[in-house]
Amino acid sequence: MAQRKKDSLFWGIVLIVVGAIFFLENFNIDVWDAVWRLWPLILIVWGVMKLAAGLKDRKEKPAELKDNPVSQEKP
């Protein structure tokens, strides 16, 4: 369920940003030029966010195993 909440948040932010770009274009503010020049930065930020989430999950997994005595029992 947590993953679905994160996905909804991500797509909500994407829709707001795209809507804001189109809104500003209606007032003859050339946003697409800035977006075109800065799109690699968007990929870098996205990659850093994915890396941080992966490291966080990796760090939390051993703690979950310690808290669950059933998973530590050997058959």
Q: What is the mean pLDDT of the chain?
A: 80
Rounded Cα–Cα distance for residues 34 and 6 (Å): 27
Rounded Cα–Cα distance for residues 13 and 17 (Å): 6
pLDDT of residue 31: 87
Within 13 Å of residue 40, how many CA atoms lie on the same side as its CB? 1
pLDDT of residue 54: 86
Q: What is the pLDDT of residues 26-53, one digit of tens each?
A: 999 888 888 888 889 988 988 898 898 8
pLDDT interval class at 75 (50, 70, 90): low
Task: Give yes or no for a contact between 3 and 14, defined as CB atoms under 8 angstroms apart.
Answer: no
